[in-house]
Each structure stands twice: as C-alpha cells, then as structure tokens.
C-alpha cells in the first residue's frame, strides 16, 4: 500500500499545476461572483481491479552456461564475437600452450624413465626367483627384490598418469563450445592473464527465452498472486504476449535489494531475440471497489481531500470530502465519498466555491446548447 506521505506529495504537485493553469487562464479576465462557469466533468465509474504493475526487463535465455578455461595462462586468440551462433565443439579462444607443452614433455620423460626402471626391476625379480630355487639367495633377499619391483611398477603407473594429465592440460588451452547456442557475453580479451575456472564467455540457448525482471519487496506477493501477465517488446509495442511466472528468488539481490524473477512468454519462434528490452505488465488481483479520478480533480484547500460534484438539478458545484485509497500514475483512487454515476469536475477546482453556478462544457453528454 502506498504511503500517505507519498500520496499527499503527488496531490500537492497536481494542485500546484492546477492552480498555475487556472491562474494563467484567469489572468486579466476576472469573473463576477455570480458568473456561470463552464466545467469539464467525468462520469464516476466503480472498478474492483487494482492498478497493474509494470516492470522493465531483458530477454535472457533460460539456460546460460558460463565458459572458462580449465587451466591458467594468457589468452592469445579469440575467434568469435558476441552474438555469434556456435556449433558444439567450435573453438572460441586459445591460450598460450607453451608452459603446458613443457609440463607435458617433462611428464612424458618421467613416465619413460619410470617404465625403464620398472622393466629392469621385473627382470631382476625373474633372476632372483631362479637363484632362490637353486639356494643361492635367501628368502628375505627374494622378498626384498619383489618389494622393489612392485614399487617400481607403481611409480611407473603414477608417472604415466601424470603424463596423461599433463597432456590433457595442453588440450585445455583451447576453449570449445560444449553445445550449440549463441555467444551472449565475453569477459576476456586477447592478452588477458586468467586463472583456471575464471569465466570468460557465456553461451545461451536461444530456443528457451524468458524475461528477467527485478521486483521490489513490497510487490513480491502481488506478483505471486497475479491473474494475468503480459509481455510487450519495446521494439514492437503493437504486439503483446501472455507471460507466466517461472521462478521468483526467495533472497533479495545484494546489489539492488530487489527480488529477481523470470517470466516465460508465449511468442512465435523468431519473434523474440536475446538481449531485447521488454515491458512486463502484471494484472493484480481484484480488491475493494474504487473510483478513478484525475489527480487534478482533488482539492485540498480545506486540509482534506475533496471533490467538486456537478449537481445537474441546480447546475451548481458541490464540494464533498472523499477517502483516498491510493494513487496510480495520474489517477487518484477514491474508496468512499463518491457514488458511481455522479459527475466529477476535473479541472479548475481550486477556484470553485460551494454552490457556484456552473454548466457543462459544449460537447459533453448532457450539456446544454
């Protein structure tokens, strides 16, 4: 619910504007006290629908993958641009492979050395087994040789695993697309030194698009209970698509202190593109009956909110105190003091007097010619 201070401020601004307009129109043309003043009126109509909420949003993909190198180094080449359509396995960036190649070469040499040692120990074990049968060595000496051979074989397996890992690190210096999609963001350029796992690009799925919006904390429950949601693209505001709330964060964003929400939309393929700006209108649930009147119709000279009603029987302006339920853009919402079907004077209310003779302006229904 909008605060009373905010409502009062908006009404005060509207009052100042109305006084200024009236002063300009009356300057140099003072009317006698009994003059019949032409007025513009609005027929009061009750409504149970609360004012709709509107949020600015951006078209995002439901599935966004942040891509990163799996090793550290300096980027030496970037092959793609933001907005490019990528196929699975396509190369995006390359990193300097020098250090990784040297590490792989060293690991390969250590694996070869370990293999030679293990092979030699295996041959010694075979000879020791023959000597044990002939009684030339003791059982303990044979067990010692057997243990040394097992250790050499284990070291060989470890060295080969390190070699394979180092070889894979060389492959990690090339960043490829894990699946098809559209490159929606780049956060690193050629010459940037990055660490392993640092995101450098974002891959988005263009087949599953939605609208990302931020919702103030006092409107979270209203969004959850929304009966209808409509999405309009700023590029073509003549078309409106039905929307559906997919997710609503349970934790406020640390920077904006608003709650992030995602709205899916029913739009034909190809009509919506990544990065477009959209407007999301949320129709709120029905509430108590209210009557909308322009802010310029509110008169606060008496310290209370009042309207001027056109009395068709006597053709007079009658002041009436009303209850404000809130403000929606340029309209005041009246919850009590005004009945449907009555005519409300919309402008020039700050110069009217109780019982002042008035007549409907030419062109209004019911106006006298």
Kind of pairing between the strands at 37-39 and 356-360: parallel
pTM of the model: 0.58
The lowest-confidence range among 14-23, 168-177, 227-236 is 14-23
Which tens digits make up the pLDDT trace of 47-96?
A: 765 667 889 999 999 999 999 999 999 999 999 999 999 999 999 999 99
What is the structure's pLDDT at 11?
52
Averaged pLDDT score across all residues of the chain: 85
Dihedral angle of Cα 219, 221, 226, 229, to the nearest 10 degrees: 50
Phi, psi torsion values for 2, nearest 5 degrees: -70, 140
Do 213 and 242 fall into the same domain?
yes
Domain count, the chain: 3
Which of 130, 151, 172 is at the close of a domain?
Answer: 172
**Is 366 inside any structural domain?**
no
Query: Which residue reads 């080449």 in tokens?
Result: 77
pLDDT over 70 percentage in the chain: 86
Among the candidates 285, 312, 333, a domain finishes at: 285
Flag whether 193 is in a domain: no
User: Does residue 178 belong to any structural domain of this protein?
Assistant: no
Beta-ladder partners of 220: none
Residue at 351 is within a domain? yes
> Are 251 and 310 spatial neighbours (Cβ–Cβ below 8 Å)?
no
- As a whole number of angstroms, the distance between CA 93 and CA 86 comes to 13
Q: Is the pLDDT of residue 136 over 90?
A: no
What is the span of the domain harbouring residue 246? 53-64+204-285
The pLDDT score that the predictor gives to residue 16 is 47
Same domain, 140 and 159: yes
Mean pLDDT of 321-339: 83
The DSSP code for 348 is -
- Picking from 255, 285, 315, the residue at the C-terminal end of a domain is 285
From CA 134, how far away is CA 132, in angstroms rounded?
5
- Please indicate, yes or no, if residue 198 is contained in any of the structural domains: no
Domain match, 297 and 268 both = no
């Amino acid at each position: 619910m909008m605060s009373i201070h905010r409502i009062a401020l908006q009404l005060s601004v509207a009052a100042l504007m109305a006084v200024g307009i009236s002063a300009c129109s009356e300057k140099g043309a003072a009317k006698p006290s009994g003059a019949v003043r032409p007025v513009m009126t609005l027929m009061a109509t009750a409504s149970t629908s609360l004012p709709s909420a509107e949020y600015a949003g951006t078209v995002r993909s439901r599935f966004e993958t942040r891509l990163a190198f799996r090793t550290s180094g300096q980027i030496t080449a970037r092959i793609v641009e933001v907005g490019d359509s990528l196929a699975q396995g396509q190369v995006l960036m390359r990193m300097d492979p020098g250090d990784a190649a040297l590490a792989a070469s060293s690991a390969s040499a250590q694996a070869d050395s370990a293999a030679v040692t293990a092979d030699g120990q295996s041959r010694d074990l075979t000879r020791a087994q023959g000597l044990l049968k002939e009684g030339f060595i003791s059982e303990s000496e044979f067990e010692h040789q057997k243990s040394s051979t097992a250790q050499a074989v284990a070291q060989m397996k470890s060295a080969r695993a390190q070699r394979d890992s180092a070889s894979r690190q060389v492959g990690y210096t090339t960043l490829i697309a894990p699946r098809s999609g559209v490159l929606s963001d780049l956060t690193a350029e050629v010459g940037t030194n990055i660490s392993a796992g640092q995101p450098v690009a974002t891959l988005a799925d263009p087949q599953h698009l939605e609208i990302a919006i931020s919702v103030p904390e006092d409107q979270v429950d209203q969004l959850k209970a929304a009966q209808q949601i409509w999405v309009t693209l700023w590029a073509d505001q003549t078309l409106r698509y039905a929307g559906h709330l997919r997710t609503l964060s349970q934790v406020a964003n640390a920077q904006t202190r608003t709650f992030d929400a995602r709205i899916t939309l029913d739009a034909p393929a190809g009509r919506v593109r990544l990065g477009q700006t959209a407007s999301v209108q949320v129709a709120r649930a029905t509430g108590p009956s209210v009557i909308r009147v322009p802010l310029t119709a509110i008169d606060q000279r008496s310290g209370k909110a009042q309207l001027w009603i056109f009395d068709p029987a006597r053709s007079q302006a009658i002041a009436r105190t009303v209850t404000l339920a809130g403000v929606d853009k340029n309209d005041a919402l009246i919850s009590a003091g005004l009945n449907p079907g009555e005519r409300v004077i919309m402008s020039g209310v700050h110069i009217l007097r109780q019982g002042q003779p008035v007549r409907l302006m030419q062109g209004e229904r019911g106006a006298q010619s």
